[in-house]
Amino acid sequence: MSLPVKLKFEPSKIWSVDFKQHGLFKDLIALFKLDQNKHWPDCEWLNSHINNLTLDSGKKLNFIPDPHIQDDSRYYEQIIYETGNVPTRIDNWHDLFGGLIWILFPKTKTLLNKMHIEQINEHGLVKRSTSRNAITLLDECGILFPYNEEQLIGEQIKEDLKNHKWQDAFVTHRSQWGNNINAFMFGHANYEMATQPYLGLTGKALFLPVNSDFYRLSLKNQYEYLDTVLYQQIIDNQLLKNNKALSPMPFLGIPDWYEDNNDVEFYKNINYFRPKPQPKQRKVI
């Protein structure tokens, strides 16, 4: 089976929760009851879910309609850092999902905003540093994989995913998902693209060690825990100096995220579930 040609992604601007059929949105449906909304969630709705969040600059976070500040010439992250205002386009999937990630990961998003500003101050707006590229990749395309570091199977599945052993990770060890490893979307661009999913969708995986207690937490508490762990990991291990900590992830293969992957034949498409490239052998002269 070959991948379909995808020339341009144009998500519908009409409010609809048809995307809830795809399991990768189940957390957003459970936590925000999006399927009960009759219209697009607006800035007032987003602000009602932010719990008095203060940025590193001391400004209070506030979602504001993009037309209100469309004449502001500052870079997006600068506007957020210096004013606390998050420019939010009306009826826009990208910005809606971006807002939901701010709500779910306030500590980490605040840290990434600060890191963007530090990189801009050091390198300017034109030249993008390797660190700023990594920050953007996580922000837009990141998927978090908390794995049980107390069990060998958690470590094994993590290594299988990093080494593109998709059959082992997704098929052989399928029963371990939700018990010793799981996946949580962080990248809001992934969510936007997945409203109209197609084979080829790929995110960037970041693996986070957790203990067995993590899988017994409520969904809300799992997100709070991940926000704290991710925040600390970025600070302690300088994870985003470059993108080496981020692994390619064909996320439609994650169990329960996409209905087609209930059929094991789904994983035989090597154009999507690509083997890991082998290092080139040096020529012996």
Q: What is the pLDDT of residue 278?
A: 76
Q: What is the pLDDT of residue 4?
A: 42
Segment 162-176 mean pLDDT = 98
Segment 119-148 mean pLDDT = 92
| pLDDT tens, residue by residue, 48-66 | 999 899 999 999 999 999 8
pLDDT band at 69 (very low <50, low <70, confident <90, very high): confident
Q: What is the pLDDT of residue 241?
A: 87
Segment 143-157 mean pLDDT = 96
Judge whether residue 3 has pLDDT over 60: no
CB 269 within 8 A of CB 1: yes
Q: What is the pLDDT of residue 6?
A: 46
Judge whether residue 12 has pLDDT over 70: no
- Pairing of β 247-249 and β 203-210: antiparallel
CB 261 within 8 A of CB 253: yes
In terms of pTM, does the model score above 0.85? Answer: yes
Q: What is the pLDDT of residue 284?
A: 57
Task: Please write down the long-range contacts of 80-84, taking CB distance under 8 Å and 24 or more positions apart.
Answer: 80/55, 80/113, 81/55, 81/56, 81/57, 81/113, 81/114, 81/116, 81/117, 82/57, 83/59, 84/55, 84/57, 84/59, 84/60
Alpha carbon separation from 257 to 155, 236, 250, 261, 278 (Å, rounded): 21, 31, 11, 8, 29
Judge whether residue 249 has pLDDT over 50: yes
The whole-angstrom separation of Cα 43 and Cα 65 is 7
pLDDT band at 73 (very low <50, low <70, confident <90, very high): confident
Q: Which two tokens stand for residue 280?
A: 């080139």
Judge whether residue 16 has pLDDT over 60: yes
Segment 25-37 mean pLDDT = 95
CB 215 within 8 A of CB 257: no
Q: What is the pLDDT of residue 270?
A: 96
Segment 75-81 mean pLDDT = 94
Look up tokens 């709705």; give the residue: 45
Q: What is the pLDDT of residue 5?
A: 42
**Cα–chain center distance at 238:** 18
CB 69 within 8 A of CB 79: yes
Q: What is the pLDDT of residue 13?
A: 72
Mean pLDDT of the chain, nearest integer: 92
Reduce the DSSP state of residue 240 to 3 states and report it.
Answer: coil
pLDDT band at 11 (very low <50, low <70, confident <90, very high): low
133: left (phi over 0), alpha (psi -120 to 50) or beta: alpha
| pLDDT tens, residue by residue, 191-232 | 999 999 999 999 999 999 999 999 999 999 999 999 999 999
The whole-angstrom separation of Cα 158 and Cα 102 is 26
Reduce the DSSP state of residue 24 to 3 states and report it.
Answer: helix
pLDDT band at 282 (very low <50, low <70, confident <90, very high): low
Q: What is the pLDDT of residue 141?
A: 97
The whole-angstrom separation of Cα 209 and Cα 284 is 41
Terminal C-alpha separation, the chain: 41
Residues 6+ apart with CB under 8 A from 228: 107
